[in-house]
Amino acid sequence: DAKTTQPNSMESNEEEPVHLPCNHSTISGTDYIHWYRQLPSQGPEYVIHGLTSNVNNRMASLAIAEDRKSSTLILHRATLRDAAVYYCILRPTGSARQLTFGSGTQLTVLP
């Protein structure tokens, strides 16, 4: 199964943009890139997903490299409420077996 690699931790100042990277060099052509975040004492929640093109929603933007071997989750203006662990995973189309998570990136937002 395709794996993802993320930095263990990152820091950002409040109200500044945050770029969270994810490497997925073994991605296959039918894998979606998903991002989730987990706030303290809660279950993970969906943030955004993409296949080939960059995506925007109310929570974040997802920038996908042209070769799809990496992606970046962009929080345009970090708030204290964005402090969480962010996970990048690959979700195959047509089969949802073995959806595995890595350790994610712990984002600290400084006031």
Partner 1 sequence: DAGITQSPRHKVTETGTPVTLRCHQTENHRYMYWYRQDPGHGLRLIHYSYGVKDTDKGEVSDGYSVSRSKTEDFLLTLESATSSQTSVYFCAITLDRGPGELFFGEGSRLTVL
E-strand ranges in the chain read 9-13, 18-23, 31-38, 45-50, 55-56, 61-64, 70-75, 84-92, 105-110
With CB under 8 A as the contact rule, the residue among 20, 82, 84, 104 that binds partner 1 is 104
The pattern of x and - marking residues 12 through 51 that bind partner 1 according to CB under 8 A reads --------------------x-x-x-----xxxxx--x-x
Written as six digits, the tokens of 103 are 């350790």
The whole-angstrom distance between residue 62's C-alpha and the CA centroid of its chain comes to 8
94 touches partner 1 by CB under 8 A: yes
Interface residue list for partner 1 (CB under 8 A): 32, 34, 36, 42-46, 49, 51, 85, 87, 91, 93-94, 96-104
